[in-house]
Chain A
């Protein structure tokens, strides 16, 4: 079974450029979560998506950040006009269709490390 896949693993951007981070969930999982981990900080929730729907984006910065999970293809986290403060590790997690309490676990990808110069 392939786990959650994220690419690229490392991404370097200059200030003002756009960053696109991709996440392919575990096969059969229909729910995707994005988290950000700043140096010396814990994982912070950003956005929760189902296919073609944003369920909860309460952790997403109001400007420059957007996310989608289309019917076909990976989930994309897009950061426009990046700034140095966007440098962090971005993790994607997925979970299966809910079938009771045993499916509350989230499965994480290896992360994308974004460096803004």
Chain B
């Protein structure tokens, strides 16, 4: 079984500053990794995913994440945030032979002017 730990429950950040959201996972097998964003009162939108290949993954809205197998991490970064990036961010994992996504508890990002 897999599990996901998002190390920061809340991240306040000023507009145009960089942000990093930390995600660690545990699994005994190879995994797929995902980051989703949830805006208030909405469903989940896929930001990016790692399935295989290059460990640096680029997603929508200027986000990127790096898969580190030795540290079992998949941290999300953005070099310059906007007010509109204020949202809840979820890291998720699934293994190659499983069907479900296992989610972390989420990180609330609040961008201030």
Question: Do A and B interact with each other, yes or no?
Answer: no
